[in-house]
Structure 1
Amino acid sequence: MPDTPDLVVIGAGIVGAACAYHATRAGLSVTVVDRGPIVGGTTGAGEGNILVSDKELGPELDLALLSNRQWRALADLPLDGTTFGRTVELEPKGGLVVATGQAPLDVMRRLAGKQQARGIEALAVPAHDLNEHEPHLAADLAGGYLYPQDMQVHPMLAAAHLLRLARQRGATVLTHQPVTGYLRDGDRVVGARTPHRDIAAGAVLNAAGPWAGEVAALAAVHLPVAPRRGFILVTEPLPPIIRHKVYLADYIADVASDSAALQTSAVVEGTRAGTVLIGASRERAGFDHTFSLPALRALARGAVRLFPGLERVSTIRAYHGFRPYCPDHLPVIGPDPRAPGLFHACGHEGAGIGLSMGTGLLIAQVLAGEHPDIDLQPFRPDRFTESST
């Protein structure tokens, strides 16, 4: 480990890994620290979504498109006699968004029109053509839209191999070392403190996922990042019966909701191993690890609504994670003027996997003194007041 790395990254999940990868590519020396193991938090409980289909026009869509390009560029990187994409199960399977009636289909049509003007591929699929794309889909749906740019990745593999690539460029990864404070030179943050060591650094990056608010508070700055719990059901391995990521249009509105109550919307996709992942739920319940039978039952009902044949399929497990929720549904990316030397890359909620590569690139560009590819003003850390929840 260098005596004084250019950057200390707090968090060894997918966002921290992407930031470390891009920072080392930019020639910076990096040390990554995490309170637990690699991908021991939100990333280890994710589905691996890389989506543009669920984004309204605005800064998050700009970030999603930037990230999508970064993921596609990384897919062909040679790795272990194959490619990065194959190693981390990066699949450009596309997304199919479907509607149960004419009203949600009309909402989808308006959104797709705006997205198409921004350069997103959104292909209308009439009801009678849905089964050409998904033969086992319910027969009574009103129609949908196909998004070829949507992808899926194995999130744990992706984060682990991004960190591996960063280590090959000299990065150090320290696990089971929670950050307990910062080193300061006047107002400036000049390093991080753990129970095991002080790490002086040129800059410190808070990529602590749902714990990012607590990590920011150690520097006496306010970030209203809170955990939003979500459950996922996993079926027994099946023959390949689901070709795309398939979800109801309701999912888009639920993700953008400010409600703290339990919400579920059907999201179904297959994996390379043959299992089917069933989501998605969300509720603001703090760091409560209690399993919610109402949430799991609602997920099962939603999946069967989309794919009736799943009614006869067994589930083999369920898991949950805590997504880093921000009240304005935008991530926090960039330098914090309230604590010079401190940067943030957090608050991505359920989109962290997909948005991670663009986030890492932007952080590396700022640290290297370059002009970022997209405007960071909407993501600035000091946009919140103390009353933000």
Structure 2
Amino acid sequence: MVLPDPADTPVHAAPRVIIVGAGIVGAATAFFLSRAGAQVTLLDAKVPASGASGASDGAVSVASKRPGPMMALACEARTLYRQWVAQGVMDGTYHARPTYLFARTEEEVAVIARQGADLMELGERILPLTHDELMQRVPGLGQHVLAGMKVPDDGHALGYRVVDRLLQISAAQVLRHTPVQRLALSDNRVVGVVTPQGTRVADAVVVAAGLGSGALTGLDDVLIPRKGQLIVTDRATLNGAALPGPLLSAGYLAAKRRMVLGQSSTSLVIDPLVTGQFLIGSSRETGFSDRQTDVLTVSKLLREALAVYPALARQRVIRTFAGIRIGTRDGLPIVGPHPSLPGLFIATGMEGDGICLSPVVGAAVADMVLGNPVRYDVSVLNPARFGALPLSQGS
């Protein structure tokens, strides 16, 4: 098949961009591209937010980030969420709330202290708390909680609601149940995508399809699926969230700071939902891409949750589910132009940080696609760090 080259087609005033994957990163990229005048089409193998974006806790949290570029980018992303609220983009979707870190061992107390020092270096407000001080702010905590820290300026936004809002505002064309089989190439340049319905031509293609990004971009050996099992309770209150903010185990921070490849673990987060329910999670099961929950993991999470917050004993479990987060070999997302295929851009491997980072990643990718100065420094996330990324697909 002879594929049309964009250079041989009529000149469009607006660049045509195809985004593969209608999760929160794809939606944010579509938002910024559309605002800049691009003609954007999103293709999703299922429906928007059907992957990790729809199975997340919604944390827009700097407190939980790995020190270094991830923590710095999270600060910038959270600022963007606030700007979106002021502009009416996320009004009613994003809201501010504190994060409470807690420690159950002296080792975890030290982890929180190190995290606090890293946060303060970025100018983040923190409030170290003794056991008694933490009990005053979060009544009902168990006696095994030794100490903690409040990070007052974090926030929350449910992934599927953010996706819905961004797609509405961007007015991008969204094609549901349209899997991308391969890239369309001409003279070693990406000029579109091939779907079961035929070839769609574009000036640029952005792949933001989670685990589905691997085969399209040559990242199969770099991307790592991690399953997270979560629990939803019935309502503890009818008047909003039962706690002022989520309770985040220092064990979660320790796992992120260590970033041991192939490691699986459970790291407790007790998240008070605005519905009055609790979301309890989560496992971090490396190499698993099924969406099944199991009794052993759910029981372990519930035992830990009850030890930290005994008041949960009054609640009933009404649902368990699992989401698949896509990580990478080095623990950092992959954001930038493909190292050997012009016209192709990648935004994947966010693992549990996509909800928080999506505004910054979407803005940066839009700048790259349009050839503008990139407003956020995501250079450390460039896919070129993994080499040439040869594709196995045919052209």
TM-score by length of 2: 0.90
Match of 2:334 among 309, 332, 335: 332
SS of 2:286's equivalent in the other structure is coil
| Match in the other structure for 1:187 | 188
Q: 1:135-174 to 2 correspondence within 5 Å?
A: 135-167=139-171, 171-174=172-175
| Match in the other structure for 1:57 | 67
Match of 1:87 among 84, 89, 92: 92
Distance 2:91 2:299 in 1: 34
- The one-letter amino acid paired with 1:268 is I
Higher alpha-carbon deviation: 126-135 or 312-321: 126-135
| Match in the other structure for 2:307 | 305
Distance 1:375 1:10 in 2: 23
- The one-letter amino acid paired with 1:321 is G
Distance 2:220 2:185 in 1: 18
Which digits, 9 at most, give the CA deviation of each residue in 1:99-139, with x for residues without a partner? 11333212211221122011112221122110222112223
| Match in the other structure for 2:38 | 28
Distance 1:22 1:341 in 2: 18
Deviation at 1:303, TM superposition (A): 1.2
Deviation at 1:210, TM superposition (A): 2.2
Contact residue 223 and residue 384 of structure 1 kept, 8 A: no
Contact residue 237 and residue 274 of structure 1 kept, 8 A: yes
Structure 1 pair 351–358 and aligned structure 2 pair: CA distance change class (3 A): same
Distance 2:49 2:170 in 1: 15
Pair 1:367-2:369 in alignment? yes
SS of 1:18's equivalent in the other structure is helix
SS of 1:146's equivalent in the other structure is strand
Percent identical across equivalent pairs? Answer: 30
Question: Size of the alignment, in residue pairs?
Answer: 374
Distance 2:62 2:186 in 1: 42
CA root-mean-square deviation: 2.0
- The structure 1 segments of at least 4 consecutive aligned residues displaced by more than 4 Å after TM superposition are 2-5
| Match in the other structure for 2:53 | 43
Match of 2:275 among 266, 269, 273: 273
| Match in the other structure for 1:81 | none
Deviation at 1:226, TM superposition (A): 2.2
SS of 2:73's equivalent in the other structure is helix
| Match in the other structure for 1:177 | 178
Match of 2:223 among 222, 225, 228: 225
Q: Which runs of 5+ in 1 are unaligned?
A: 79-83
Q: Which runs of 5+ in 2 are unaligned?
A: 1-11, 390-395
Distance 2:97 2:381 in 1: 29
Which digits, 9 at most, give the CA deviation of each residue in 1:226-281, with x for residues without a partner? 21100110000111432111111011122453353541111011111111000111
| Match in the other structure for 1:242 | 243
Distance 1:289 1:277 in 2: 17
Deviation at 1:212, TM superposition (A): 1.5
Distance 1:87 1:241 in 2: 19
SS of 1:283's equivalent in the other structure is strand
Distance 1:13 1:382 in 2: 24
| Match in the other structure for 2:205 | 204
SS of 2:82's equivalent in the other structure is helix
- The one-letter amino acid paired with 1:87 is G
